Structures are given as structure tokens and as C-alpha cells.
Amino acid sequence: MVDRNGWGGDRPVLTGSRRSPPPSFVEQANVTDSGIYDEFEANWPNCWERAADLLSWNQPYETVLEDEDAPFYRWFAGGRLNAAENCVDRHLEAGRKTHTAIRWEGKHGDRKTYTYRDLYVAINEFAAALRNLGVEEDDVVTIYLPMIPELPIAMLACARIGAPHSVVFAGLSADALATRMDAADSEFLVTCDGYYRRGDAFNQKSKADNARLKLAQDVRTVVVDRLGEDLPHVLGDDEFDYHDLRDRFAGETVDPVPRDAEDMLFLMYTSGTTGEPKGVVHTTGGYLSHVAWTSHAVLDVKPEDTYWCAADIGWITGHSYIVYGPLALGTTTVMYEGTPDYPDRDRLWEIVDRNAVDIFYTAPTAIRAFMKWGEDYPERHDLSSLRLLGSVGEPISPRPWNWYYEHVGNGECPVVDTWWQTETGAVTISTLPGIDEMKPGAAGPGLPGIDVRVVDESGAEVEPGESGYLTIARPWPGMVRTLYDGDDRFRTEYWNQFSDPDRGEWWYASGDAARVDEDGYITVLGRVDDVINVSGRRLSTMEIESAITGVEGVAEAAVVGRSSEANGTDVQAYVSTERGYDDQGEVRGAIIDSIEAAIGPIARPADVLFTPELPKTRSGKIMRRLLEDVANDEDLGDTSALRNPEIVGEIQAEIRGE
């Protein structure tokens, strides 16, 4: 039993009825030859040249894969390329200057269109400005921006001059920003004055200022003026206005720096099993090949499409499938600043309709909300431009899958349920929409060339239908290369558990539990580590617990995931207080504040339950597993081995509201 998050280890997971790819889709799909699986198998690892061929290389690579120093793999070694040149310049050269690269849908109906030429100009000017500020090749530039066009512009400007970016989600707190900048030794920051969320203006600069105060290093900061009069701000020492810089460097061009395929393209911090976030390192050649290939083969992106991934660029999904994948293929990528229900619950469908969006990619948490709001909202709009739908971030169960298929796709668009992670860089498990049958509730088989195995504790593959640990038994181009915090942590986090180095077997441990069926389709059950997935966002229970225990009066805390219809999982906190701190309202308020300060509002618990004690083993370990079962109203089994079994009944009664 490896399912720790209430996805129901031994409960049957209902998969809905199978569906074949609609013939109208198959006729035009990018990949239609079912022989591709065998072809990749027979030619592995050289099959991945197909991905690398989607890019333009300044210098051809010498080998596809070097595995002498596993698990530190090298892909396309010897090759040189620049990611920004691949995402922008080469499309201009191909005569597509006036083609729309980014279609930005801002709040209150603000809109902007960047052609590939516009994007080229913006990236060059900002790259010149960054150089002038002292950014050199390999310096990490932290970007702390919401969903405004300056975010992809800044990323690509960094890529152009060979400076890895580290984008920190705009909703994270000052502390979280400081931790990430400190860990990356980053001396450059791109942020903004503030941004709108729903109707309100949020102050981003004050968070950035607070983060800078916590850092030992000097930080040169570029501030994008997003709110103008709505949020006046002053620039201090070492702070520069983005638009002034653009004016100063107007018309300048900067030659793209040819990067080694294995040079770092970016860093992305993600929650791990300890309180310290992990700095996932992605490199240029493998990552870009893999995102371009999966955009082509899984999302079926074509240059003439209008493609929309409704994620935030602050997470990996937005990096791979709003910015790098679609732009590498020269398509039009839609970028949306707002929320799905503002000003009304048909906002997304209005955008699909008005822009004639061909491909739409979102998360199950959003799909569950659409389903709850009802089909009237999509029905108000003409969605017939849609050709393919995608889902990512969490397991999607058959009911929302079918709803999405029927009410958004009108039964005519394949739905790809794409499993992947910050660490995999790009999609690794999914059906190929022009070839494979879809089974609602199962993501699909490993993509061609990806060797997915579901194994037990000892690393032996489990029988179809049984649950086990999801592993990948071979390297792939988009994979994490190491953790910025060190190679040791990279080995322990991902490779020690299932690898057998004596036999030359390196199996990547994903941290997810899964089940595989007789056709090799994978149903992902959820995380097996101390990470919980709230609305598709990875949170570390340890990080939340340490924010809680930092509050005066808190004696102990445990945080677990609780199944939630809306969010997939909610955060459930259990807290015991020190003597004398009886005002639970006050402590609760301080706990929420502390979590928001340490991580951000996304980590706010759905419930904080106060208890005189936490259930513990005789050796004094908090029984989180049991607390998770209590939160999910599961059968608890025998609790007699606990030091304080009586407390469990009390907590249970409290949770059930008895």
C-alpha cells in the first residue's frame, strides 16, 4: 500500500468507457503512424533525434546520449544552440515576421498582440539592458512577475544572453522569494510594481523589497510598471524602470549566444520532501527538444494554430507549454492574466470564441470548477474552433474528463491527460491523440521512448491492476540534470530508491503512486511522499508545518492532504498549543498569517484543527499517515500500538463535527 494521499490505494478506480480518436482529428494529426512506438524502441536512444530535428542548431551534436556518468546524463553533447533564437529569430527568417507570437488577454479586456517581429525587438532591447546592468553568461536572473508579456520577454532575453532564469511564481511570499534567490546566489531580479487579480490591485514590489532586505547579496532590480497611477512607486538604489531601459536600448540587437546543449537554460524551484525547495536544473538542448517534440506529437501544435495553455508561467507547465514549446514551433500562444470566473464564469469560453482557439490545455481543478458551474457557460459561446483538449497537474477522474469532452469539446476533440513533472521537463505519459484510444481516468502509456514502470518496494514490477511506485527506467531528453543545491540531493531524491548501479540500471523515482492496466495505460494515484498537490500546485507538508510551528504558542503541528472535490486535495492542519494559549481564534489567525508569509496564500489550510495532543508512536513519531486517514474519513484499523490511542477518537469526532 503506497497511496498516502487518499487516492484510494485498493479502492477500484473507475475508468470510463474507452473512446477512439475522432476521425476528423486523425486526418490532420501531426503523428498518425502507430508504428512510432516500435520505431522509437528499435532506435532508442537515437529515436530522439526526431525531437532535436525540430530545432535549429548552431553546431550539430556529436552524440544523442552519453550515459557513462549516470544518473548525470548528457543529451545531444557537443551541440550548440540558443533557445531564444529557436523560439523567435528563426521564425523571422522563415518569413513569419508578422505572425502573432503572443496574444495577451489582460484584465478588464486589456489586450496586446506581439508578432514574432515585436517579440524579437522586445527581447533584444531587454537583453541589451540586462547586459548593461552587468548580467553575464551563466548568472542566474530571478524573475518575479505575474502573467504579463514582460514575463516571457524577460525569460527569452535571459536565454538570448545565456543567463539562466529562475522564475518565482508571483503569488509566493517575500520569504519564499528570498529563500530561492539566496539558494541560487542570484544578484538580479525582474519584478513589477503590482498586478490585478480579479478586481484588486496587489503590491508586488513591497514583497520584492522585503525579500531583498533578507538577502546578503546586492541585487540589481528591474521594475515593470504595470499599474501606473493605481500604485505609484519610487525606485531606490540599484532599481531600474523596465520601460526606461527599453527606451534607452531602443533598436539595439544582441547576438544570441550559442549555448552548449548541456548548459543550463533555467532553474525552477519546486517543493520537495524536506522544507527546502529543490532547484531543478534544466539544460538547453534536451529540454527544448523534448518540449518542442511533445508540443508537436501530444498537443498537435501547428504553426498556424492559436494555442492556449491556461496555466501560469510561474510553474513548469507555463515554462514548457506557454513559452518554450509553442514558440519553438512558431505558433500563436495565448497568455491570460486573469481568473476563469472574472468578470463572469464564461470568461475562458469568451476568449476561446473570440480568438478561435484551436487547442486548449488546462488543469483538472479548473475542469471540476467548470463542471460545478454548469454547461450553460460554455454553451453561450461558439467553441467549434477547438480541435484538441489537454489536462495536466493532477489526476482527472472520468466524470470531469467526460464533462470536458462533451461540453467543451462537443465530443469532437481528443482529450490528452498528460502526466509529467517539473523534473521531467515535458510530457512523459499521455496518449498520442491521432493514434491511441483514450481511457478516461488513465493518463495513457509512456510516450514513445519513455520506459515507464510501476514497481513495488523492492523494485519489482507489479501486476496489472495493482498499485505501486511510478518510475521511469530510462533517461529522456527533458529530464532534470541535477539539483542546484547539489548532486547528492539529486541522487537521494530521485535515484537511490529503485536503481541498481551494479547492473547499470538507473530508475527515476517520480514520487507518485500509480497503477498500470493490461494495455500499459497508467492511472496516477497521487504522491507518495510528503508533498501534497492542491489544485495542481505542489506543496511540501514540511514547509507548511515549519511555518505553523514558528508561531508563538504552537507546540506541535502536522499537515496532511485531505481529498477535496474542488481542489483535488486540501491542506488539513492539526495543531496543539502550549499551555496558556487558549485563544484559538488568535492562534489560528497567526498560523494563517505565518503560512502566507512563508509560502503564500496557496498554502492556506482549508481547516486548522486544535487538539490537546497529536497521535504518536511509542518512539514519539507523529502518525501523519493516521491523521491523513482521519482527515479523509477512512477506516483506521488497529491504533493500539500508539502511545496515546484515545486521542484519535477525539480528533475523529471533531473532524466529523460530532
Q: Which is nearer to ligand 6R9, 452 or 609 (CB)?
A: 452
From edge to edge, which strands make up the β-sheet containing 568-577? 554-564, 568-577, 607-610
**Residue listed under C-alpha cell 547528492:** 488
Provide the minimum distance between the beta carbon of 271 and ligand 6R9 in the complex, in angstroms, as a whole number: 8
Provide the minimum distance between the beta carbon of 51 and ligand 6R9 in the complex, in angstroms, as a whole number: 18
Binding to ligand 6R9 by residue 527, rule CB under 6 A?
A: yes
Binding to ligand 6R9 by residue 567, rule CB under 6 A?
A: no
Q: Which is nearer to ligand 6R9, 207 or 527 (CB)?
A: 527
Q: What is the dihedral of CA 522, 524, 528, 532, to 10 degrees?
A: 160
**Residue listed under C-alpha cell 476521425:** 23
Binding to ligand 6R9 by residue 441, rule CB under 6 A?
A: no
- Footprint (CB under 6 A) of ligand 6R9, residues 583-622: none
Binding to ligand 6R9 by residue 150, rule CB under 6 A?
A: no
Considering only 130, 157, 288, 524, the residue that binds ligand 6R9 (CB under 6 A) is 524
- Distance from C-alpha of 407 to C-alpha of 425, rounded to nearest angstrom: 30
Binding to ligand 6R9 by residue 521, rule CB under 6 A?
A: no
Provide the minimum distance between the beta carbon of 320 and ligand 6R9 in the complex, in angstroms, as a whole number: 8
Considering only 150, 512, 543, 628, the residue that binds ligand 6R9 (CB under 6 A) is 512
Q: 140: Cβ–Cβ under 8 A, 6 or more apart, which residues? A: 163, 164, 165, 166, 184, 185, 186, 188, 267
Reported as type and span, the H/E element at residue 112 is strand 111-115
Per CB under 6 A, which region of 137-145, 532-540, 548-556, 626-634 contacts ligand 6R9? 532-540
Binding to ligand 6R9 by residue 392, rule CB under 6 A?
A: yes
Provide the minimum distance between the beta carbon of 495 and ligand 6R9 in the complex, in angstroms, as a whole number: 16
Binding to ligand 6R9 by residue 444, rule CB under 6 A?
A: no
Per CB under 6 A, which region of 96-104, 389-397, 539-547, 553-561 contacts ligand 6R9? 389-397
Using DSSP, state whether 349 is helix, strand or coil. Answer: helix
Read off the C-alpha cell for 389: 483538449
Q: How big is the site for ligand 6R9, counted in residues (CB under 6 A)?
A: 23
Read off the C-alpha cell for 366: 479548473
Binding to ligand 6R9 by residue 282, rule CB under 6 A?
A: no
Binding to ligand 6R9 by residue 538, rule CB under 6 A?
A: yes
What residue type is assigned to position 151 of the chain? Answer: L
Binding to ligand 6R9 by residue 269, rule CB under 6 A?
A: no
Provide the minimum distance between the beta carbon of 13 and ligand 6R9 in the complex, in angstroms, as a whole number: 11
CA distances for 369 relative to 343, 346, 348, 573, 650, angstroms: 15, 12, 12, 24, 33
Among 88, 219, 85, 194, smallest CA distance to 141 is for: 219
Binding to ligand 6R9 by residue 443, rule CB under 6 A?
A: yes
Reported as type and span, the H/E element at residue 223 is strand 220-224
Binding to ligand 6R9 by residue 317, rule CB under 6 A?
A: yes
- Distance from C-alpha of 166 to C-alpha of 144, rounded to nearest angstrom: 9
Reported as type and span, the H/E element at residue 390 is strand 388-392
Read off the C-alpha cell for 124: 533584444
Query: Cβ of 307: how many Cβ atoms within 10 Å?
Result: 26
Binding to ligand 6R9 by residue 563, rule CB under 6 A?
A: no
Per CB under 6 A, which region of 203-211, 418-426, 498-506, 579-587 contacts ligand 6R9? 418-426
Binding to ligand 6R9 by residue 293, rule CB under 6 A?
A: no
Per CB under 6 A, which region of 40-48, 95-103, 310-318, 403-411 contacts ligand 6R9? 310-318
Provide the minimum distance between the beta carbon of 479 and ligand 6R9 in the complex, in angstroms, as a whole number: 13
Per CB under 6 A, which region of 145-153, 324-332, 446-454, 530-538 contacts ligand 6R9? 530-538
β 508-516/554-564 pair status = unpaired
Read off the C-alpha cell for 577: 498549543
Binding to ligand 6R9 by residue 543, rule CB under 6 A?
A: no
Among 25, 31, 86, smallest CA distance to 55 is for: 86
Considering only 393, 414, 433, 468, the residue that binds ligand 6R9 (CB under 6 A) is 393
Binding to ligand 6R9 by residue 467, rule CB under 6 A?
A: no
- Distance from C-alpha of 442 to C-alpha of 564, rounded to nearest angstrom: 19
Q: Which is nearer to ligand 6R9, 166 or 418 (CB)?
A: 418
Binding to ligand 6R9 by residue 270, rule CB under 6 A?
A: yes
SS3 sequence of 583-595: CHHHHHHHHHHHH
Q: 399: Cβ–Cβ under 8 A, 6 or more apart, which residues? A: 16, 371
Binding to ligand 6R9 by residue 420, rule CB under 6 A?
A: yes
Considering only 3, 105, 225, 417, the residue that binds ligand 6R9 (CB under 6 A) is 417
Reported as type and span, the H/E element at residue 166 is strand 165-167
- CA dihedral sign of residues 317, 322, 324, 330: positive
Pair 562, 606: CB distance under 8 Å: yes
Binding to ligand 6R9 by residue 529, rule CB under 6 A?
A: no
Query: Cβ of 281: how many Cβ atoms within 10 Å?
Result: 20
Considering only 64, 81, 101, 316, the residue that binds ligand 6R9 (CB under 6 A) is 316
Per CB under 6 A, which region of 221-229, 230-238, 415-423, 456-464 contacts ligand 6R9? 415-423
Q: 609: which DSSP letter? A: E
Considering only 82, 295, 333, 421, the residue that binds ligand 6R9 (CB under 6 A) is 421
Binding to ligand 6R9 by residue 401, rule CB under 6 A?
A: no
**Which residues of this chain interact with ligand 6R9, rule CB under 6 A?**
270, 315-317, 392-395, 417-422, 443, 510-512, 524, 527, 533, 536, 538
